[in-house]
Structure 1
Amino acid sequence: MTFVAHRDPIPPSIPTPQEVDAQLLKLLKVKGADPDFWSSKDRDRTDSAHSIFQYPAMMVPLVQRRLLGAVLEARPDIQSVYDPFMGSGTSLVSGMHYGLGVYGNDINPLAVLISRVRTARSVEFTVGAIAERVASSAAADRRDTIETSMANREKWFQADVSLELSRLRRAIRKCDGLWVRRFLWVTLAETVRLTSNDRTSTYKLHARPASEIEKRTLSPIKVFRDLARENAASFSAFRRRLNEAKQLKSAKYVAETDVRVGDTRNAQDYWGSAAPFDLLMTSPPYGDNLTTVTYGQHSYLPLHWIDFKDIDPAADIATLRTTQEIDRRSLGGAAGNQVWTEAKLLEASPRLKRFADGLPAKPDDGRTRLIRFYTDFGASLDSILNVMKPDSYMIWTVGNRNIGGQQVPTDLVLGELVEGLNCKVVTTLTRRIHHKRMPDRNASSATMREEKILLVRKGEG
C-alpha cells in the first residue's frame, strides 16, 4: 500500500502593498482612458439625495463612486471609509453604495445636519406626507411670534418672510422622530437660503439692493412645501437604489454610519474605538475659509432657524456669535496652532516655501494667511494619520487657489507633506470641473477649472 503524505492547502499569497499599488495603477489607467471618466459631464442632481441643500463646492457623487470602486476592486478587504472634511457627506453616501461603514466629521454644524440626514441607517418613508402636514400647520398658524433671536434680522429677512419661517419652525418642533425633524430642518435651511435677502451669486453674505428686495414677493411656506416634495422624492430614490444594491436589510442600512461635529486637528481625540479606518476619501478646504469658500457664512442664516439640539449635543450655538465665527474656527481662520511651526512647515514642503517667498507684496496678509492655513493643515494631517490603518489608501481631491494672482500648487504641496509623514503618493489624476458650483465673485477661486486627485498610501506601521 502506498501512503501519500497529507499536505495542508497552500494559502493564497497576500499581495504586498507595492503589488496592490501596481494593480491600482493598471486599473486607473484603463478607466482613465476616457478623459471624462473622472470628470463626468452628466449631472443628476437627485443622485444620492445630493440636492437637498445647496452646500458650497460639493463633489460629484458619480465621480466619487468611480474612485471608490477602483480602489475596492484592488482592495476588496476595505470595510470603512472616513472623511475628515465631509461637508454635505458626498464621500460618505458614495461609500453606502458599496455597503461600507461610513464615518465623517466637520466643524460646521449645518454640514453635520445634512450628512446625518443623508447617511441615516433608518429613515421614515412617509416623510413627504409629514412635510405636507407641517406646511399645512404652518399655513394655519396665526401667531406673530418670531422664532429667532438673530441680530440684525431685519436686514436679512422681510417681515412676512420671518413670520412664515417662524411658523414653519414651530410646526417642525412638534414632529416626532429625530430623523424626521432633521430632514425637515434641512428643507427649512434651503428655504431660508432661497427666501432671505442674501444674494445667491456668492457664498459670502451680501444683502440684495433695497430696490430689489422691495420687488420680491416670497412665501417660505410655499417654497418649503415644494422643496419637501423634491427632497422626499430624491431621498426615496436614493434608498431605493441602496435596496437594489442589497445594502439595506429590513429597510436598514447594513453597515455603521457615524457623523460628528469635530475639528479635524483633534480627530484622534474623539473617534476612539471607531478608528482606525480602512480608507480616506475627502476634499479638504483650498485655503482659509474667510478668503476662499466661506462655508460658515453660507450656513449662518439657515442655522439661526434650526434647533441646535437636533443637530448634535456637541454643536456649539456660539458658532453663530458672528457671521464669520464658523469660518474663523476652521483651518487657517485664527492664530494659535503651535504643533506645526512655520519653520517645520516650510522644511517639509520646499515647493510651498518657494511659493511663499515669491508672493507679491499685495495682498499684504497673503503670506500670513497661506502659512496659517498650512500649519493648521499640517496638524490635521498628523491627526488624520493617527486614525488611519497602516497601508490604508487615501483619496484627496484638491483645488489650487489663487493668492496675489498666483496659483498655489496645492497638489504638489500636499504630496510633499504626506510623503514627509511616511506616506506614498501612488498617482495623481486630473479632474476637469464641469458642474461644481464655486463662488464666481471670489477672486481666490474663480479661475479654478480643474482639480487634482491624489491617491496616497499610508506607510506601514
Structure 2
Amino acid sequence: MAGNTRQTTLGASDGEITSLEDIDWTFEKADTSYLTHGLHSYPARMIPQIPDALLNYYKSEGIIDDGDTVYDPFSGSGTTAVEGRLHGLHAEANDINPLAVTLSKAKAEPLDVSTLQSARDDLLEHLSDSLERARENYEDGSSLTPEDLEIRDGWFPEPQLSELYTVSVEINQLETKYSEEIGRFFRIVLSAITRKVSYQRNGEYKRYRMPEEKRESHNPDVYDLFVTKLDKNIKLMREYSEQVDHSLNTTIHYADSRTATTNDDDAVEENSADIVITSPPYGDHRTTVAYGQFSQDPAIIAGGHGYDEMKSVDKTGLGGSNSELEPLEELEEWSPSFAATMDTLREKEGRSEDAMDFVRDYYEVMKEVAKILKPGQPSAWVVANRTMSRVNIPTHLITKELCEHVGFEYQHMLPREIPNKTLPWSNAPENVPGVTGDLMANENIVVMTAPDN
C-alpha cells in the first residue's frame, strides 16, 4: 500500500506497534506539510501524523482494510481525507466552511500531473500581460473596486487587489477549458497568496491588520507570489498523485455535521464508515478559532463566495448564534464532568450559556457519528481543553462521557502536547487589557468504538 511505504513516526523502535499507547503522539519536529498537506495553511489543523498512526495501527490489526471508508465530521483542510487516501481508503467528510470543502477536495483528490502542467503553461503564457493591463487600468482609474468583490475597505493594497481579481478571472477560463478539478487546484494557490497580499497580520487566524506604517510599504508582487506557490504545489501534487490509488473516492459535503445523515440531497449514508478520525473545534468560532474570519477574503476572491456566506461560517459553527437547537439540560446528567464545569461557571457568573450551546451542538454530532460508523468500529476524537471565564473545560472527559451515553464504548485516552499549532497561547477572557488566561497547550485523543446497533 502507498500509505505504508512512507516513513512514519510511531514511537516503537522497530516501527511495529502492538498498542496505541506505544506511540509518542506529540510528534515533535515532524514534517506536517509533506505531500498535499503543504498546499495551503489552515488554523488549528490536526497534524497528519495522528491519522497516519491511527490508520497504520488499525490496518495492522485487521480492523480496517483497503477499500474501507474513513469519515471526518469536521474536515477542515482535509487532513483525514488525505491520509485516508494514502492508506488505501475512501474518504468522506463534512464541513460548513466552503473554503474548507475546497481545500479538502483539492488536497485529497489526485490529479493527472501532465494535464496540470499543461494548464499551468496555458495560464502563464499570458498571465503577466493580463496583470500588467490590470495595473494600467487601475492607474487610469478604470479598475475593479473592492465593493465589486465584496471585500471590506482597507484590507488590500491597490493595484494588487485588482490583480488578484484578474487571476481569478483567468482561472475561471482555465476551468472551462480543462475541468473543475484543475480549476480548484489553481484556486487554492490563489487563496494561499491572497492572505499574503492583504494587510492581514502574519501568524493570526482572526482578522487583524498590520500597523498602518507597515501598510504604506507593503507592495507584494502578485505574479511572483502566484507562480512560486503554483510551482511548489504542482511538485507536491505530483508526489502525492504517484502514491495514491486514483480509483478511490473522496466525498466532501458542504453541509452541517449535526444533521449529516438527514441533510437534503447531501446526506452521509448510515453504517457507511469503517473508522472515524476527527479534530472537533475547541469551542465556538467567535471566541476560539475563527475559521470564517481566516477564510473570508480567500474564499471571496479565489472561490467566488459571497461576503454574507462567509460571515455566517463562524455563526453557524458549534455553539454559534445561528444554531436552531434548544438547550439540553440532560447533558449535565449524562456527563458529570460537564455538570461540574457548569456549576463552576454559574458560581463565577461565567459563560455557562455559551458552554451549554457548544456542548449541545457537539453532542448532536456524536449522535450522527454513531449512525454513520459501523457497529464496533473505532472513532478517534482529537480534542483540547480550553478555558471559559478562567474555568478549564475538560473536553476530553466530556467527550468520553457523552459518547458513552450515546452508546460508544471507551477504549483509550491518549495525551499529547502541541509542539506548534496556529493558536493563541493566552487570551483576555474578561476583555480587560493586560489580563490574560491560558488556553490550549495539550490535547487528548479520545478513542471509542461505535455502538452495537
Given candidates 250, 253, 266, the residue that maps to 1:260 is: 253
Given candidates 55, 66, 88, the residue that maps to 2:53 is: 66
Q: Name stretches of at least 5 consecutive residues in structure 2 with no aligned partner.
A: 1-15, 138-142, 430-436
Structure 2 residue aligned with 1:106? 95
Q: What code does the residue aligned with 1:167 have?
A: T
User: How far is 1:337 from its partner?
Assistant: 3.6
Are 1:431 and 1:450, in contact at CA under 8 Å, matched by a contact in 2? yes
Tell me the distance in 1 between the aligned counterparts of 2:165 and 2:322. Answer: 38
Tell me the distance in 1 between the aligned counterparts of 2:231 and 2:303. Answer: 22
User: How far is 1:360 from its partner?
Assistant: 6.7
User: How far is 1:402 from its partner?
Assistant: 1.1
Residues 298 and 231 (structure 1), Cα distance of their counterparts in 2 relative to 1, 3 Å cut: same
* SS of residue paired to 2:357: helix
1:211-226 residue pairs with structure 2 within 5 A? 211-226=213-228
Given candidates 446, 449, 453, the residue that maps to 1:457 is: 449
Are 1:424 and 1:459, in contact at CA under 8 Å, matched by a contact in 2? yes
Are 1:81 and 1:281, in contact at CA under 8 Å, matched by a contact in 2? yes
Q: Deviations over 1:118-164 (max 9, x none)?
A: 12154444424533543453320114342862445431111121121
* SS of residue paired to 2:38: coil
Given candidates 260, 267, 281, the residue that maps to 1:271 is: 267
- Provide the aligned C-alpha RMSD in A: 2.4
Tell me the distance in 1 between the aligned counterparts of 2:441 and 2:328. Answer: 30
* SS of residue paired to 2:302: coil
Moved runs in structure 1, 4+ residues, more than 6 A?
Answer: none
Are 1:205 and 1:297, in contact at CA under 8 Å, matched by a contact in 2? yes
* SS of residue paired to 1:359: helix
1:213-252 residue pairs with structure 2 within 5 A? 213-242=215-244, 248=245
Given candidates 179, 182, 198, the residue that maps to 1:196 is: 198
* SS of residue paired to 2:377: strand
In the superposition, the TM-score normalised over structure 2's length comes to: 0.85
| The 10-residue stretch of structure 1 (69-78 or 101-110) with the greater mean CA deviation from structure 2 | 69-78
| The 10-residue stretch of structure 1 (401-410 or 80-89) with the greater mean CA deviation from structure 2 | 401-410
* SS of residue paired to 1:384: helix
Given candidates 323, 338, 354, the residue that maps to 2:340 is: 354
Are 1:147 and 1:169, in contact at CA under 8 Å, matched by a contact in 2? no
1:28-427 residue pairs with structure 2 within 5 A? 30=19, 32-33=21-22, 37-78=24-65, 79-128=68-117, 130-131=119-120, 133-141=122-130, 142-143=133-134, 144=137, 145-146=143-144, 149-151=148-150, 153-175=152-174, 176-242=178-244, 248=245, 253-269=246-262, 270-273=266-269, 275-308=271-304, 317=305, 320-321=307-308, 324-334=311-321, 336-338=323-325, 341-359=327-345, 366-427=351-412
Q: What code does the residue aligned with 1:99 have?
A: G
Q: What code does the residue aligned with 1:450 have?
A: N
Number of residue pairs the alignment of both structures matches: 413
| The 10-residue stretch of structure 1 (64-73 or 85-94) with the greater mean CA deviation from structure 2 | 64-73
Q: What code does the residue aligned with 2:407 have?
A: N
Are 1:359 and 1:367, in contact at CA under 8 Å, matched by a contact in 2? yes
Tell me the distance in 2 between the aligned counterparts of 1:323 and 1:177. Answer: 25
* SS of residue paired to 1:222: helix
In the superposition, the TM-score normalised over structure 1's length comes to: 0.83
Q: What code does the residue aligned with 1:459 have?
A: P
Tell me the distance in 2 between the aligned counterparts of 1:411 and 1:418. Answer: 11
User: How far is 1:167 from its partner?
Assistant: 1.7
Tell me the distance in 2 between the aligned counterparts of 1:360 and 1:222. Answer: 54
Q: Name stretches of at least 5 consecutive residues in structure 1 with no aligned partner.
A: 1-26, 243-247, 309-316
